[in-house]
Amino acid sequence: MVLLSQVFSDVLEHPNQNICGSAQQASAWTPYSVTGVFLVAMALLHKKVSEIPEDAVRLSEDDAIQYFLNLVKNWENKSEVWPIVYTPGILGGVTVFSGFYINNYYRRVLKLGNYGRFSSYLPAVALPAIMATVFHSAFVLPDVVLRKEPCPVCLQTRASAFQSAFSVAYPMMLVPLSSFMFATRHFTYRLPSITEKPKEVFKLYRKLSGPIMLPITMMLAFNVALTIFLTGKEIETVYKINFRLLQIERQIEQDGGFVDEP
Protein backbone atom coordinates (compact mmCIF):
# COMPACT_ATOMS: atom_id res chain seq x y z
CA MET A 1 0.00 0.00 0.00
CA VAL A 2 2.82 2.42 0.80
CA LEU A 3 4.40 1.70 -2.55
CA LEU A 4 1.17 2.38 -4.38
CA SER A 5 0.63 5.67 -2.52
CA GLN A 6 4.15 6.81 -3.28
CA VAL A 7 3.86 5.83 -6.92
CA PHE A 8 0.58 7.70 -7.20
CA SER A 9 2.26 10.83 -5.86
CA ASP A 10 4.95 10.44 -8.50
CA VAL A 11 2.27 10.25 -11.18
CA LEU A 12 0.64 13.48 -10.07
CA GLU A 13 3.98 15.26 -9.76
CA HIS A 14 5.19 14.09 -13.19
CA PRO A 15 2.12 14.05 -15.47
CA ASN A 16 4.10 14.78 -18.61
CA GLN A 17 5.96 11.49 -18.89
CA ASN A 18 5.82 9.84 -22.30
CA ILE A 19 3.68 6.74 -22.35
CA CYS A 20 5.62 4.18 -24.30
CA GLY A 21 3.50 1.14 -23.64
CA SER A 22 6.12 -1.04 -22.00
CA ALA A 23 5.47 -2.91 -18.78
CA GLN A 24 8.64 -1.56 -17.20
CA GLN A 25 7.75 2.09 -17.79
CA ALA A 26 4.13 1.53 -16.79
CA SER A 27 5.24 0.16 -13.44
CA ALA A 28 5.62 3.71 -12.17
CA TRP A 29 1.85 4.23 -12.30
CA THR A 30 -0.81 3.19 -9.86
CA PRO A 31 -4.58 2.60 -9.79
CA TYR A 32 -6.82 5.50 -8.87
CA SER A 33 -10.54 6.09 -9.12
CA VAL A 34 -13.40 8.42 -9.76
CA THR A 35 -16.90 7.86 -8.43
CA GLY A 36 -18.06 4.90 -10.46
CA VAL A 37 -14.91 5.07 -12.58
CA PHE A 38 -11.44 3.97 -11.61
CA LEU A 39 -8.13 3.45 -13.31
CA VAL A 40 -6.01 0.34 -13.18
CA ALA A 41 -2.52 0.78 -14.58
CA MET A 42 -3.78 4.06 -16.04
CA ALA A 43 -6.88 2.49 -17.65
CA LEU A 44 -10.34 4.00 -17.18
CA LEU A 45 -12.86 1.32 -16.23
CA HIS A 46 -16.54 1.60 -15.37
CA LYS A 47 -17.45 -0.19 -12.16
CA LYS A 48 -20.11 0.08 -9.49
CA VAL A 49 -18.99 1.98 -6.41
CA SER A 50 -19.15 -1.25 -4.42
CA GLU A 51 -16.72 -2.89 -6.87
CA ILE A 52 -14.02 -0.21 -6.67
CA PRO A 53 -10.87 -1.58 -4.99
CA GLU A 54 -10.39 -0.52 -1.37
CA ASP A 55 -6.92 0.86 -2.09
CA ALA A 56 -8.12 3.01 -4.99
CA VAL A 57 -7.58 6.76 -4.66
CA ARG A 58 -10.72 8.72 -5.49
CA LEU A 59 -10.64 11.64 -7.93
CA SER A 60 -13.29 13.89 -9.44
CA GLU A 61 -14.46 13.33 -12.99
CA ASP A 62 -12.69 16.51 -14.09
CA ASP A 63 -9.41 15.18 -12.68
CA ALA A 64 -9.92 11.85 -14.43
CA ILE A 65 -10.61 13.57 -17.75
CA GLN A 66 -7.55 15.79 -17.38
CA TYR A 67 -5.44 12.76 -16.49
CA PHE A 68 -6.60 10.85 -19.55
CA LEU A 69 -6.00 13.83 -21.84
CA ASN A 70 -2.48 14.11 -20.42
CA LEU A 71 -1.95 10.46 -21.33
CA VAL A 72 -3.12 11.20 -24.86
CA LYS A 73 -0.97 14.32 -25.10
CA ASN A 74 2.17 12.39 -24.15
CA TRP A 75 1.33 9.16 -25.97
CA GLU A 76 4.38 8.10 -27.94
CA ASN A 77 2.62 6.96 -31.12
CA LYS A 78 0.53 9.99 -32.09
CA SER A 79 -1.14 8.12 -34.95
CA GLU A 80 -2.95 5.99 -32.37
CA VAL A 81 -4.59 8.94 -30.61
CA TRP A 82 -5.18 11.44 -33.42
CA PRO A 83 -9.03 11.33 -33.19
CA ILE A 84 -9.01 12.68 -29.63
CA VAL A 85 -6.32 15.26 -30.39
CA TYR A 86 -7.61 16.61 -33.69
CA THR A 87 -11.37 16.00 -33.89
CA PRO A 88 -12.47 19.31 -32.26
CA GLY A 89 -10.13 21.25 -34.55
CA ILE A 90 -11.30 19.38 -37.65
CA LEU A 91 -14.93 20.11 -36.83
CA GLY A 92 -14.06 23.76 -36.30
CA GLY A 93 -12.30 23.81 -39.66
CA VAL A 94 -15.25 22.44 -41.65
CA THR A 95 -17.49 24.92 -39.81
CA VAL A 96 -15.26 27.73 -41.08
CA PHE A 97 -15.71 26.45 -44.64
CA SER A 98 -19.51 26.25 -44.28
CA GLY A 99 -19.81 29.71 -42.76
CA PHE A 100 -17.50 31.22 -45.36
CA TYR A 101 -19.47 29.70 -48.23
CA ILE A 102 -22.84 30.87 -46.90
CA ASN A 103 -21.65 34.36 -46.01
CA ASN A 104 -19.85 34.84 -49.30
CA TYR A 105 -22.94 33.80 -51.27
CA TYR A 106 -25.33 36.27 -49.61
CA ARG A 107 -22.80 39.09 -49.79
CA ARG A 108 -22.41 38.44 -53.51
CA VAL A 109 -26.12 38.29 -54.41
CA LEU A 110 -26.83 41.40 -52.33
CA LYS A 111 -23.90 43.21 -54.00
CA LEU A 112 -22.29 44.22 -50.73
CA GLY A 113 -18.74 44.38 -52.06
CA ASN A 114 -16.47 45.44 -49.22
CA TYR A 115 -19.23 46.91 -47.06
CA GLY A 116 -19.16 45.38 -43.59
CA ARG A 117 -16.88 42.55 -44.68
CA PHE A 118 -15.10 42.10 -41.36
CA SER A 119 -18.29 42.71 -39.37
CA SER A 120 -20.07 39.93 -41.24
CA TYR A 121 -17.31 37.32 -41.34
CA LEU A 122 -16.52 37.50 -37.63
CA PRO A 123 -19.95 36.35 -36.33
CA ALA A 124 -20.77 34.18 -39.34
CA VAL A 125 -17.47 32.33 -39.73
CA ALA A 126 -15.20 32.69 -36.71
CA LEU A 127 -17.79 32.47 -33.93
CA PRO A 128 -19.54 29.28 -35.18
CA ALA A 129 -16.17 27.58 -35.64
CA ILE A 130 -15.12 28.44 -32.10
CA MET A 131 -18.46 27.28 -30.70
CA ALA A 132 -18.35 24.00 -32.64
CA THR A 133 -14.91 23.26 -31.21
CA VAL A 134 -15.85 24.27 -27.66
CA PHE A 135 -19.15 22.39 -27.59
CA HIS A 136 -17.58 19.16 -28.85
CA SER A 137 -14.75 19.45 -26.33
CA ALA A 138 -17.09 20.28 -23.44
CA PHE A 139 -20.21 18.22 -24.09
CA VAL A 140 -19.08 15.22 -26.15
CA LEU A 141 -15.43 14.40 -25.49
CA PRO A 142 -15.74 14.11 -21.66
CA ASP A 143 -18.50 11.51 -22.00
CA VAL A 144 -16.41 9.68 -24.59
CA VAL A 145 -13.44 9.57 -22.22
CA LEU A 146 -15.42 8.55 -19.13
CA ARG A 147 -17.77 6.29 -21.12
CA LYS A 148 -20.69 7.59 -19.09
CA GLU A 149 -23.06 7.18 -22.03
CA PRO A 150 -23.70 3.45 -22.70
CA CYS A 151 -25.10 4.27 -26.15
CA PRO A 152 -22.38 5.24 -28.68
CA VAL A 153 -25.02 6.18 -31.25
CA CYS A 154 -26.50 8.65 -28.76
CA LEU A 155 -23.11 10.33 -28.38
CA GLN A 156 -22.66 10.47 -32.14
CA THR A 157 -26.15 11.94 -32.53
CA ARG A 158 -25.43 14.59 -29.91
CA ALA A 159 -22.14 15.49 -31.58
CA SER A 160 -23.70 15.69 -35.05
CA ALA A 161 -26.55 17.86 -33.70
CA PHE A 162 -24.06 20.37 -32.28
CA GLN A 163 -22.07 20.35 -35.50
CA SER A 164 -25.14 20.79 -37.72
CA ALA A 165 -26.35 23.69 -35.60
CA PHE A 166 -23.07 25.62 -35.75
CA SER A 167 -21.91 24.74 -39.27
CA VAL A 168 -25.18 25.20 -41.19
CA ALA A 169 -28.24 26.21 -39.14
CA TYR A 170 -26.65 29.16 -37.33
CA PRO A 171 -25.06 30.74 -40.46
CA MET A 172 -28.26 30.21 -42.48
CA MET A 173 -30.20 32.22 -39.91
CA LEU A 174 -27.64 34.89 -39.07
CA VAL A 175 -26.03 35.61 -42.44
CA PRO A 176 -29.20 36.60 -44.37
CA LEU A 177 -30.32 38.92 -41.56
CA SER A 178 -26.96 40.66 -41.29
CA SER A 179 -26.62 40.84 -45.08
CA PHE A 180 -30.10 42.37 -45.43
CA MET A 181 -29.13 44.93 -42.80
CA PHE A 182 -25.94 45.92 -44.64
CA ALA A 183 -27.77 46.01 -47.99
CA THR A 184 -30.41 48.35 -46.57
CA ARG A 185 -27.84 50.58 -44.90
CA HIS A 186 -25.63 50.93 -47.98
CA PHE A 187 -28.43 50.81 -50.62
CA THR A 188 -26.90 47.93 -52.56
CA TYR A 189 -30.14 45.96 -53.01
CA ARG A 190 -33.79 47.02 -52.95
CA LEU A 191 -35.38 45.30 -49.94
CA PRO A 192 -38.90 45.52 -48.47
CA SER A 193 -39.20 46.76 -44.91
CA ILE A 194 -38.90 43.88 -42.47
CA THR A 195 -41.20 45.63 -40.00
CA GLU A 196 -43.88 46.59 -42.53
CA LYS A 197 -43.68 43.67 -44.96
CA PRO A 198 -42.18 40.65 -43.14
CA LYS A 199 -43.85 38.21 -45.56
CA GLU A 200 -42.20 39.92 -48.51
CA VAL A 201 -38.84 39.70 -46.78
CA PHE A 202 -39.37 36.00 -46.16
CA LYS A 203 -40.29 35.45 -49.83
CA LEU A 204 -37.12 37.25 -50.86
CA TYR A 205 -35.13 35.09 -48.44
CA ARG A 206 -36.55 31.93 -50.04
CA LYS A 207 -35.88 33.28 -53.52
CA LEU A 208 -32.27 34.16 -52.77
CA SER A 209 -31.64 30.93 -50.86
CA GLY A 210 -33.11 28.64 -53.52
CA PRO A 211 -29.95 28.30 -55.68
CA ILE A 212 -27.81 27.12 -52.76
CA MET A 213 -30.25 24.74 -51.06
CA LEU A 214 -28.72 21.71 -52.77
CA PRO A 215 -25.14 22.65 -51.81
CA ILE A 216 -26.34 23.48 -48.28
CA THR A 217 -28.07 20.10 -48.00
CA MET A 218 -24.91 18.34 -49.19
CA MET A 219 -22.85 20.41 -46.76
CA LEU A 220 -25.17 19.45 -43.91
CA ALA A 221 -24.96 15.77 -44.83
CA PHE A 222 -21.18 15.97 -45.01
CA ASN A 223 -20.94 17.62 -41.58
CA VAL A 224 -23.22 15.00 -40.02
CA ALA A 225 -21.36 12.10 -41.63
CA LEU A 226 -17.94 13.51 -40.70
CA THR A 227 -18.98 14.13 -37.10
CA ILE A 228 -20.43 10.64 -36.71
CA PHE A 229 -17.23 9.15 -38.14
CA LEU A 230 -14.86 11.21 -35.99
CA THR A 231 -16.86 10.68 -32.80
CA GLY A 232 -16.86 6.96 -33.52
CA LYS A 233 -13.09 7.09 -33.93
CA GLU A 234 -12.81 8.90 -30.59
CA ILE A 235 -14.81 6.16 -28.88
CA GLU A 236 -12.67 3.52 -30.58
CA THR A 237 -9.47 5.29 -29.53
CA VAL A 238 -10.51 5.46 -25.87
CA TYR A 239 -11.30 1.75 -25.97
CA LYS A 240 -7.93 0.92 -27.55
CA ILE A 241 -5.99 3.04 -25.04
CA ASN A 242 -7.71 1.41 -22.08
CA PHE A 243 -7.24 -2.03 -23.59
CA ARG A 244 -3.54 -1.35 -24.12
CA LEU A 245 -3.14 -0.19 -20.53
CA LEU A 246 -4.99 -3.22 -19.18
CA GLN A 247 -2.56 -5.39 -21.12
CA ILE A 248 0.28 -3.54 -19.41
CA GLU A 249 -1.35 -4.13 -16.04
CA ARG A 250 -1.66 -7.86 -16.69
CA GLN A 251 1.97 -7.98 -17.79
CA ILE A 252 2.99 -6.21 -14.58
CA GLU A 253 1.01 -8.69 -12.50
CA GLN A 254 2.67 -11.59 -14.30
CA ASP A 255 6.08 -10.04 -13.68
CA GLY A 256 5.43 -9.83 -9.94
CA GLY A 257 3.67 -6.50 -9.39
CA PHE A 258 4.74 -2.87 -9.31
CA VAL A 259 8.43 -2.17 -8.99
CA ASP A 260 10.28 1.11 -8.74
CA GLU A 261 12.44 2.14 -11.64
CA PRO A 262 16.16 2.44 -10.84
Cβ–Cβ under 8 Å, residues 135 and 102: no
| pLDDT tens-place string over residues 47-76 | 666 666 666 656 678 888 888 898 898 888
* Number of Cβ within a 10 Å radius of residue 114: 7
Nearest to 44 by CA among 69, 27, 24, 17: 69
- Spatial separation of the C-alpha atoms in residues 179 and 156, rounded to whole Å: 33
At 1, which helix (H) or strand (E)?
none
Cβ–Cβ under 8 Å, residues 223 and 94: yes
Distance of CA 26 to the CA centre of its chain: 28
- Spatial separation of the C-alpha atoms in residues 78 and 119, rounded to whole Å: 38
What's the confidence (pLDDT) of residue 9?
36
Residues of the chain with pLDDT under 70: 1-59, 256-262
What's the confidence (pLDDT) of residue 223?
98
For residue 123, what is the DSSP state? I
- Spatial separation of the C-alpha atoms in residues 89 and 82, rounded to whole Å: 11
What's the confidence (pLDDT) of residue 243?
87
Strand partners, 39: 32, 44
**Burial track 69-105 (b if 16+ CB lie within 10 A, e otherwise):** bebbeebeeeeebbbbeebbebbbebbbebbbbbbeb
Residues with Cβ within 8 Å of residue 133, at least 6 apart in sequence: 88, 89, 91, 92, 95
Record the pTM: 0.79
